[in-house]
Amino acid sequence: MQSDSTTEAPVTAGIRRSAGRSVATDAGGYRVVALCDGHVDFDLSRLPGVALDDALPVAAPRGVDARDLAVSVNAFAVVGPDRLYLVDSGNGTIRGPGLGHLLQAMAAAGLRPEDVDAVLMTHMHGDHVAGLYDGDRSVFPNAEMIVSEAERAFWDAPEQLSELQRGQLDMARKGFATHSGRTTIANPGAEVVPGITMVALPGHTPGHVGYRIDGSDPLLIWGDVVHLPALQMARPDWYFVFDVDPETAVATRRRILDEVATDGIRVTGAHVPFPGFARIERAGGGYLYRPTDESL
Ligand SMILES: [Zn+2]
């Protein structure tokens, strides 16, 4: 453990120290293990149109300095009595040393890549899919890949991709290529594996989905519903630069936050501060992300 800054905000410091860690909770009949792939450092330009003067007073009470933003990259293992699933796979080897620690986090939890039965994809951006492969080889040799039909269709029509999204195309394609012959296409509402339902969360990408683990004290793994919770929980209308359809992404965020706050459903996601298990409360005109006991 080290801290190279005495002024670093506490939430940000925690995000930067979690690469390779794992933290578990129970949901339904499963043990769910948050796996920290690492973090990325962002500046406010990732939220188009948001001024620093507006962001600073929103982030500060939530333990974050809007001039120094860090974002966790998480994936999840869902461990059953005789089955092991992953939700997303982190960055693999494609980015810098702060990322790509999924396998280390799995090892810390006693989980082996060859034991993974299925990888449930929220969407096919590089920070979710690139951990599936190493060169031309799948890291999870016995796993099927489960993807939504709309997500598959989106990456199958590259001519309609923006330049920004086109930068992700090779990684999406490689995810499909290294799992050809063992990819299952599903639609929201389907129980994709026992007790786990695919949930439509369109906007970030057209086929972006979450996975809800049903049963006692259910848990929604919501993918990229938020990227910067210290800002977007208070201001769900602040969209992320990588959202394919910002208007739909904002509508989805508002709808899901309202639902989980009303129903008291636990949530976690790929970019909430590791390990990210939390309940959502209404606060002011927005929401509060309240980590549950498993968090650190
Ligand atoms: Zn992401």
Task: Give the per-residue pLDDT at 11.
Answer: 85
- Taking a 5 Å cut-off on Cβ, the residues next to ion ligand 1 are 127, 224, 270
Q: For residue 71, report the distance from its CA to the centre of ligand 1, in Å.
A: 10
Domain-embedded: residue 294: no
The DSSP secondary-structure symbol of 205 reads S
Residues of the chain with pLDDT under 50: 1-6, 295-296
Domain-embedded: residue 41: yes
Give 263-287 pLDDT, tens digit per residue: 999 999 999 999 999 999 999 889 9
Q: For residue 107, report the distance from its CA to the centre of ligand 1, in Å.
A: 23
Task: Give the per-residue pLDDT at 23.
Answer: 94
CA distances from 273 to 120, 142, 270 (A): 21, 30, 9
Task: Give the per-residue pLDDT at 5.
Answer: 44
Task: Give the per-residue pLDDT at 294.
Answer: 59
The Cβ-side half-sphere exposure at 50, using a 13 Å CA radius, reads 25
Domain-embedded: residue 262: yes
Task: Give the per-residue pLDDT at 4.
Answer: 46
Task: Give the per-residue pLDDT at 65.
Answer: 94
Q: How many domains does the chain have?
A: 1
Q: Whole domain around residue 180: which residue ranges?
A: 10-289
Domain-embedded: residue 5: no
Domain-embedded: residue 1: no
Q: For residue 168, report the distance from its CA to the centre of ligand 1, in Å.
A: 11
Of 44, 12, 64, 42, nearest in space to 238 by CA: 44
Domain-embedded: residue 4: no
Domain-embedded: residue 114: yes
Q: For residue 93, report the distance from its CA to the centre of ligand 1, in Å.
A: 16
Domain-embedded: residue 296: no
At a CB cut-off of 8 Å and minimum separation 6, what does 32 contact? 24, 25, 26, 76, 77, 78, 79, 213, 219, 221, 268
Task: Give the per-residue pLDDT at 222.
Answer: 98
Q: What is the CATH number of the domain that holds 186?
A: 3.60.15.10
